[in-house]
Amino acid sequence: MAGVIKRLRNLLTRGDWIYLASLLVPVFLYNLTLKVVRIVTRPDPPGLLGFVDQIRSDLLFNLGFAALWVGIFALVRGGWLRTVVVMLFHLTVLVMVVLTTSAHFFYTSTGSTLDLSFVIVSISSIGEIQGAIGSETTLSHWTLVSQIVFYVLAGPALMTRLITGTWESPPAEGRGRSDRTPLTVAVAALVLFCLSVVPSVTNAGNAFARDPLANMVVNEVATTEVEATVPPESLPTDTRLSPTPKTEKRNVVMVFLESTRARSTTPYNEDLDTTPFLDELSEESLMAERARALVPHTSKALVATTCGVPPPLDTQKTESEPGILPARCLPELLGEQGYNNAFFQSATKTFERRPQLVENFGYEYFRAIEGMDKTGYQKVNYFGYEDEIMLGPSRAWLEENGDEGPFLTSYLTVTPHHNYIVPQRYGTKEYSDDPELNRYLNTVRYQDFFLKKLIEQYKDLGLYEDTVFVILGDHGEGFGEHGLKQHDNTIYEEGLHIPLLVHDPKNPGPERVEENVSELDILPTLADALGYEIEGGEYPGSSLYAPPEDRTFVASCYHERTCLTSIDGDQKYIYSYGNRGEEYYDLSEDPKEQNNLIEEQPEGKMESLRDDLLAWEARVESSYEQQREETTTAE
């Protein structure tokens, strides 16, 4: 031991040790403290063995990080290169602190771990997310961040000056160290880094148990061996609507209810009176009992519903690229039949490249809150106003275009989106002891008032009887039921199960669809309701008026390589790429997914389900790659 200590002393000067330790030790303690907070605040805090397992990766990764810089400082001992090393040291530590802090607050806000691809996308679109960041931070947070940044940049020099009386370390040349010592330290750092990504031995889930930076690296390099090719001719890119003797050119209205899960609406939960109007409407509508979102994220839901194909399974907003969609969408299909169209949203225009997305769909008129009269309307989150702000622009467009022929209009609400600010127009009710959930339920209640006023607008303008209304949630919302909050990666029923009604005033009788259906079924349903046949290709969905009894529903998380699920009847399987344990639920007996039956399932069955999910994912990715190649070739 004495020999080891002596070699370490000879490795660096006293000033170097002070310089490095004054930054590496606080960062080490800071990162571990954040991890401890995440561990002890989990819904199921672990015992001693679980605690050690969950903090092991962070200990090893941070020790490896320290060893790396000790080796670099020992190797580069002077000159201009040393200045470069010192600058890189500060920059690297600063990036590390920013990423680990971001990962911490992302986890506490959503229950999900942060992946590198999402970080890159967020940086590239910082203007879109700055409102979300602002909603989660206070002046004290920014004060703390400023202090941390100042210390990272200036702290080591100040500490070295305070202890040694000089700003710089004495020359290191000539000290008695072996030339192999820096290499030994570098190897030690590599070994520590490798050990930090060894899988968890408890059921905490590898993504959570890993150090945040180690997890980002692992997720980025992780690959699947499943490959699939989708021939371009098999994609519904040449489809058209063919009139039949049953064709009626009636108006179509689609209302997307932001972040609205089925269990928080009255038609699906009679114990809640959040949506009495939707409940009343359901008694005169076709209602899907088990409708689900393909990806719990708004832009992805819009693709699945409007175009009838799975959205791209990424966070890069691929769906907004020109010509990327591997299908012809409703606005374009109906446009060929003489339909005008318009898309309204109560969110800011540029969020997630929405203008480019709706243009890809084929909408000719797009209206967001920019230019809308905001007088008397309340801002309800970091990118939108209460939904009634759309009523004025909607009426103006309908008065100008409603009598010129059939039309397609779409409305995307925003009020129930995080951070759940309740408009005071209709007061509030007490639904839950959880303040956040209670605010959310009140935003769902407000949204019901908007929906009622929207339908009344169509009645006032004499358009109601000749219009087919599709009303659905774009995705659900989580409130910690499975440790996850909000929606992007909430693959459980609170995130996927959505309300879905088709309201046809000419056919007001109540109908119930018991089969598993999804957003992919909307396009074929509307073609069916209007009396059109789809020619020139096939969409993967089916009409809700004649859904197949035996088909498997498949969905994905928003973040890549995070989770996939398949539902066959009432049997639900969740695959999480090793980030969490595999899960299997019987929804008929366990609708809230509390009893994981994975241990009771044969391994061969799980392997088959896993392969099917990965093959589906590969086919979806291939469809967008093929369409990109087709578009590039055409250009």
DSSP state of 369: S
Question: pLDDT by residue (tens digit) across 62-85?
Answer: 999 888 888 888 887 778 888 898
Q: What is the mean pLDDT of the chain?
A: 87
Distances 265 to 315, 447, 498 between C-alpha atoms, Å: 29, 11, 9
User: Span 22-48, mean pLDDT?
Assistant: 86
Amino acid at 197: V
- pLDDT attached to residue 165: 64
H helices, E strands: number in the chain: 19, 19
For the whole prediction, is pTM greater than 0.85? yes
- pLDDT attached to residue 176: 46
Confidence of residue 172 (pLDDT cuts 50, 70, 90): very low
- pLDDT attached to residue 174: 42
The fraction of the chain above a pLDDT of 70, given in percent, is 90
Question: pLDDT by residue (tens digit) across 288-328?
Answer: 999 999 999 999 999 999 999 999 999 888 999 999 999 99
Structural domains of the chain, with CATH:
2-221 (no CATH), 250-549 (3.40.720.10)
Phi, psi for 152 (deg, rounded to 5): -60, -40
Distances 176 to 14, 73, 79, 485 between C-alpha atoms, Å: 14, 15, 20, 56
Question: pLDDT by residue (tens digit) across 477-501?
Answer: 999 999 889 999 999 999 999 999 9
Angle among Cα 575, 234, 546 to the nearest 5 degrees reads 70
pLDDT of 144 above 80? no
468 or 559: which carries more pLDDT confidence? 468
Distances 591 to 105, 495, 585 between C-alpha atoms, Å: 30, 13, 8
Question: pLDDT by residue (tens digit) across 497-549?
Answer: 999 999 999 988 889 999 999 999 999 999 999 999 999 999 999 999 998 88
Low-confidence winner among 108-112, 271-275, 415-419 (lowest mean pLDDT): 108-112
Secondary structure class of 229 (helix, strand, coil): coil
Question: pLDDT by residue (tens digit) across 579-625?
Answer: 788 899 999 999 999 999 999 998 889 999 999 999 999 999 999 99
CA 304/CA 541 separation, integer angstroms = 10
157 or 211: which carries more pLDDT confidence? 211
- pLDDT attached to residue 362: 96
- Find, among 609, 615, 614, the residue nearest to 597 by Cα: 609
pLDDT of 358 above 80? yes
pLDDT of 428 above 80? yes
pLDDT of 340 above 80? yes
User: Span 176-188, mean pLDDT?
Assistant: 66
Angle among Cα 461, 467, 470 to the nearest 5 degrees reads 120
Distances 504 to 282, 409, 526, 596 between C-alpha atoms, Å: 11, 15, 11, 40
Most confident of 74-78, 207-211, 442-446: 442-446
